[in-house]
Structure 1
Amino acid sequence: MNRRTLLLGGAAGALATVLPAGAEGAPHADPVRTDAEIYGVPTTQPLVSRRADPFISQRVDGKYYFTGSVPEYDRVVLRASTTLAGLTDAAETTIWTRPASGKMGGFVWAPELHRIDGKWYVYFTNSDANDIWHIRPFVLESSLADPMDPAGWSVKGEIALEWDSFALDATTFAHRGKRYLLWAQSEPEIAANSSVYIAEMANPWTLKSKPTRLTTPTRTWEIQGYKVNEGPAVLVRNGRVFVTFSASATDANYCMGLLTADAGANLLDRASWTKSPDPVFVSSDATKRWGPGHNSFTVAEDGKTDVLVYHARDYKQITGDPLYDPNRHARVQKLYWHPDGTPLFGVPVGDGGPIVRLSDRSGFVHRSATGLDVLPAPRDLGATQFRFVAGPDGTETIQSVDQPSLFVTVSGTAVTLTAAGTPVRRIPARGGVTIRTAADPALYLRVAAGAVTTGKSGTVFKLS
């Protein structure tokens, strides 16, 4: 992607206008800028290779910290960067390695790094070398200012739970003066591999309350291969507490569900929570991303753009046990929001440059079965996402993100989507850009009667 062609408009709230051909405004120089500076998140795919169950901290003292499961399941690693994009090539440090035998000598899964009361804590899943399925949550602690220093880390201990049973994927969050633990566990007397629980904490390694079961796998999308709810992650926004979780086997069936509670509700009361009936993030054959899940959330360098962090494979068929397939890669993409304040996940995006949504005062440009519509509040995020793909001659084609084999194609007044695509040029205008065809400088994309068509005047599209 030639970033010099990424022409940003004026004030974000400016309304679209229709300009006649030739009234484009003076083009302005746009210096080379990173994806994160322009669109909030990097588009490098993957962000970090062979790191499943990825976790990226919030920015602490100007740095992001990344950790995740290594394919050998034998250690906890960290890397740090001042930017999200910088995590790709950041040096990785091992801060803890499992013992060669005995307790804690088995699997090391799903580490998360948290800053609590001036200390660093890593929550992770571990098992016994002599009984690798004796899976339990553990905590590491460091009093040093720099979590990258291995000398500061020691085992604080195992988190004692209500039942001594298979338990994993612990995460923690603070809300309204209380700290909570979320985790997945196989509860006795329940016919499921794991359900998701919440409890209040007395300190970063000790529970204060009895557990509350928030969700157990019962729906079709939760029981493919295994009956699994696991990998909870928390996001508090818009007066609500959102908890994502992952479901089904860790192959292409792996997907994400969503729980929602009012921010003022009793989070330990199961009745406070509502589970969305359908998964919110699933595999995509079109974008070639399979098994998206075990996510976390962070915020981009702008301090306001929410970022979804997750793993997914770039192939569907797996040889052998999916647990030992090493190619679950860490990925990031922008998290969007519905007008009602609930999260909008879209699809796990494929390879390519920065992603944009095009809008005018009537709504967002939306890929339909036959062309491009404009909808006030589309619920299908993927169908509103596009990439401007640079050609060798300085022109661009507009590619659908959720159907990357399709490109915007102009034939007379008709605007459709085909495998070829029509070369276009973006022209800076007040509030955004106009888009004209390269072959005919007098022919523009414009919105009319709720659809994108063409004309001698062009709609000003805001890029977001």
Structure 2
Amino acid sequence: MFKLRSILTGWLLIGLLGCAKKEPAPFTPTVVTPPVVSTTYTNPLLSSGPDPWVYQKDGFYYYMATTGNNVTLRKTAKMSELSSAPATVVWTPPSNGANSRDIWAPELHFLDGKWYIYFTAGPGNCCGGQRMWVLENSAADPTTGTWIEKGRVFNPNEDFWAIDPTVLEQNGQRYLVWSGHAAANTEEQRLYISRMSNPWTLTGARVELSRPQFRWEQQGVLPVNEGPQILKNAGKTFLVYSASHCTSDDYALGMLTASATADPMNAAAWTKTPTPVFVTNATAGTYGPGHNAFFKSKDGQQDWLIYHANSRPNQGCGDARNPRMQPFTYRADGTPDFGTPVSIGAALPRPGGE
């Protein structure tokens, strides 16, 4: 009887202990530290990139620059992160021929529902053979699809050395603006404009808009006006261009101004600013700033200037030229104030919206 009672008591104790509530181990939450997102960027954006160009569409920026031997596109949602954007070669020149060498200053434009790339190329003699060419692509994304050669953009009656084409749209009409020679036996570079009947065809005679008339436009081995770019604000159209030869550290930006309703083929409608609007800043490590383009920040609230420059003096026209960007503002009269080139390596606020 005692043995049975002991056994029953043991079972009861085991049952009671088995039903006892166990306290859970203390909970230690895992703390996840979010990555630190930089609010700044530094110039230069890339180690090399002469003649930078930026086009905005559908939330993306498309960047191009002179490579010399092909046409390359970078696509990015944030200009401050350009260096991480893959470089896609979209066109490779033929092994020989009229557009096989010296591929310069490509520009991407979206016109009439298609993509077009304007660029300069020649047979290898840059002092006499350079001409303007255009490619076409109907894909939604210009880094995909097929680029078709549409040929040269020129007027047969004025078939002279021509570089740096860009597009101006005004008063419902489209124009091409470029830098070229006045005749076959001249080397001074002037700015010209011509009407376009479609994205690859000029119509009518060209008109000269500017020539290197001031000393600041005549530095280096040749007097030069080149790299025209269009900017519009406050009812005005600004044609910002590069002046003097790229061999000179005095390479700089100049500007023409016209009413946004004026006929741009009327040379008298344009007024040249008598002094350069953006110049070398040696203390900032910026020599020969020029061949620029413009874009808006992602939030649409800021205007930005992108340009190339050398980081040291006397580096000339080569691959040492690298792309930099900085914001700019407008004066009370609506004209742009580009300020001075900012220092390389300085931490600068990223464009608004990034």
CA distance in 1, matches of 2:263, 2:61: 31
Confirm or deny: 8 A CA contact 1:260 1:275 kept in the other structure. yes
Query: What is aligned with 1:456?
Result: none
Check if 1:275 corresponds to 2:272. yes
AA matched with 2:303: D
Structural mapping, 1:286-297, within 5 Å: 286-297=283-294
What fraction of aligned residue pairs are identical, expressed as a percent?
A: 39
More helix by share: 2
Check if 1:106 corresponds to 2:101. yes
Query: What is aligned with 1:15?
Result: none
Match of 1:201 among 196, 199, 205: 196
Match of 2:85 among 74, 87, 90: 90
Check if 1:76 corresponds to 2:71. yes
Query: What is aligned with 1:338?
Result: 331
Match of 2:50 among 43, 49, 52: 52
SS at match of 1:298: strand
Structural mapping, 1:351-390, within 5 Å: 351-354=345-348
AA matched with 1:182: V
Evaluate the alpha carbon distance shift between residue 202 and residue 289 of structure 1 in structure 2; reply closer, same or farther with a 3 A threshold.
same
- Give the alignment's TM-score, normalised by structure 1: 0.64
Query: What is aligned with 2:320?
Result: 327
Query: What is aligned with 2:111?
Result: 116
AA matched with 1:54: P
Confirm or deny: 8 A CA contact 1:102 1:130 kept in the other structure. no
- CA offsets, 1:13-68, max 9 Å, x none? xxxxxxxxxxxxxxxxxx97654xxxxxx64211122111000102x121110000
Confirm or deny: 8 A CA contact 1:43 1:333 kept in the other structure. no
Q: How many equivalent pairs are there?
A: 312
AA matched with 1:309: I
Check if 1:285 corresponds to 2:278. no
Query: What is aligned with 2:215?
Result: 220
- CA offsets, 1:209-228, max 9 Å, x none? 32111100011000111110
AA matched with 1:158: R
CA distance in 1, matches of 2:38, 2:300: 16
Evaluate the alpha carbon distance shift between residue 131 and residue 269 of structure 1 in structure 2; reply closer, same or farther with a 3 A threshold.
closer
Query: What is aligned with 1:300?
Result: 297
Match of 1:188 among 172, 180, 183: 183
CA distance in 1, matches of 2:270, 2:347: 37
CA distance in 2, matches of 1:100, 1:260: 42
CA distance in 1, matches of 2:125, 2:322: 29
Larger radius of gyration: 2
Match of 2:151 among 148, 157, 167: 157
CA distance in 2, matches of 1:43, 1:218: 38
Check if 1:349 corresponds to 2:342. yes
CA distance in 1, matches of 2:214, 2:304: 27
- CA offsets, 1:280-304, max 9 Å, x none? 0111111110010001111111113
SS at match of 1:286: helix
Query: What is aligned with 1:242?
Result: 238
Confirm or deny: 8 A CA contact 2:102 2:126 kept in the other structure. no
Evaluate the alpha carbon distance shift between residue 176 and residue 33 of structure 1 in structure 2; reply closer, same or farther with a 3 A threshold.
farther
Confirm or deny: 8 A CA contact 1:289 1:314 kept in the other structure. yes
Check if 1:231 corresponds to 2:224. no
- CA offsets, 1:54-93, max 9 Å, x none? 00102x12111000002xx110000101111122210100
SS at match of 1:56: strand
SS at match of 2:81: helix
Confirm or deny: 8 A CA contact 1:106 1:132 kept in the other structure. no
- Give the alignment's TM-score, normalised by structure 2: 0.84
Evaluate the alpha carbon distance shift between residue 248 and residue 230 of structure 1 in structure 2; reply closer, same or farther with a 3 A threshold.
same
Runs of 4+ in 1 over 4 A off after TM superposition: 31-34, 189-192
Check if 1:310 corresponds to 2:343. no
Check if 1:64 corresponds to 2:61. yes
- CA offsets, 1:253-277, max 9 Å, x none? 2111000001111111011000000
* Structure 1 residue 137: Cα displacement: 0.4
Query: What is aligned with 1:259?
Result: 256
CA distance in 2, matches of 1:86, 1:130: 36
Confirm or deny: 8 A CA contact 2:160 2:184 kept in the other structure. no
AA matched with 1:156: K
CA distance in 1, matches of 2:197, 2:89: 29
Structural mapping, 1:446-461, within 5 Å: none
* Structure 1 residue 347: Cα displacement: 1.0
Query: What is aligned with 1:362?
Result: none
Contiguous gaps of at least 5 residues in structure 1: 1-30, 36-41, 357-464
Evaluate the alpha carbon distance shift between residue 286 and residue 175 of structure 1 in structure 2; reply closer, same or farther with a 3 A threshold.
same
* Structure 1 residue 129: Cα displacement: 3.8
SS at match of 2:175: strand
SS at match of 1:210: strand
